[in-house]
Amino acid sequence: MTQEIYSPGLEGVIAGETAISTVSGGLSYRGYSIEDLARHGTFEEVAYLLLYGELPNAQELDALRKRFAAAATVPAPIIDAIRQFPAAASTMDVLRSAASMLAHWDSDVADNSHAANIRKAERLLAQLPIVMAARQRLKNGQETLPPKNGLSLAANCLYMLFGSDPTPVHAKAMDVSLILYAEHEFNASTFTSRVIVSTLSDLHSGITGAIGALKGPLHGGANEKVMDVLRAVGQKDNAEPWIRSALARKEKIMGFGHRVYKDGDPRATYLKELCNDLARETGNEDLETMADVIQRVIWEEKKLPPNLDWPSGRLYHYMNLPVELFTPLFVLSRVAGWSAHIIEQLDNNRLIRPRARYTGPERRPWRPLAER
């Protein structure tokens, strides 16, 4: 009898093949290192790379931007529905609902061809930022704003939230954060999207399920918890005694360690540079110093390097973004990666149906109701 192998959480299990990204030897998308993409690319270029397999030339990039602009509308009934959602509903829940609702107005919803799925992915990349910004403004008693012509997807996220053009440093920081969050191999939400469409369901269903998976704090919510830590510390002089006391109590500090990156998350390294720039621009040098002290002590005591969530939480804070938007911004970026995986799955599909190790009782005889 073949020995069954069980790996809790599927850790270390190769569950499929992909040409989209790898974390081996550092994160890369379609063969391009994340460092090169973050330093030299734009989110639009990276989205094109993920969906089409190659970086765009100037004409292809211009055409993509025009398609994004043409798709940057959300049907009025969806905005009306958002107005009616309870104030307590999280933005993640709103995005999950909107991703599902948008399918009703997408003419390609039932078409699972490669070309149709790319069209649907591009539309969602243009539409979901509008949903996020509309929800936030309506919740604050403000009217919604349409995207502004001539701004990038990243800059428009900020414009639609705040009603003014972002500074170049803010726009760059947002753009880079979207690049860094866009794709990460077979993570929980990506695997969820592939499982869903392996049944020959549609792209919108896959994205909706992926948002549901990302909502969980063990996957997408860690950057929100980063600010809880920094607020608890209070001031930079308190950073070292606070973190040493927390570690002595065996408290888990979010934003450190990673199941895959044992020697450090390459995304965190680059985003730290942008944190430094934004901290200086916004007068948050003390907070950045506080974060540096915490990072140093955790490395000394636990040998845990920071992951992407540690700098990204601070980056969004420096941009005056409310904490409840940190994970939704992750969604707006990861739609590119999720869609690429959904398309790859459907292009060479096999139903994903693993086995389970049974731990219940042995086979038992049926007992009539009167004997139970």
Known catalytic residues?
258, 309
Residue with the two structure tokens 């608890």: 232
DSSP 52: H
Torsion of CA 158, 161, 165, 169, to 10 degrees: -30
Where do we find the tokens 């940190």? 326
- How far apart are the C-alpha atoms of 158 and 164, rounded to whole Å? 8
**Are 290 and 239 in contact, with CB atoms under 8 Å apart?**
yes
Distance (Å, whole) CA 331 – CA 309: 14
Cα separation values, 104 from 54, 74, 107, Å: 31, 12, 8
Query: Which regions of the chain does DSSP assign to beta strands (E)?
Result: 21-22, 28-29, 32-33
Distance, in Å, from the CA atom of 222 to the CA atom of 285, rounded to the nearest integer, reads 22
DSSP 10: G
Q: Where are the alpha helices (DSSP H) in 103-197?
A: 114-139, 153-162, 168-181, 188-197
Residue 165's nearest CA partner among 147, 139, 141, 180 is: 147
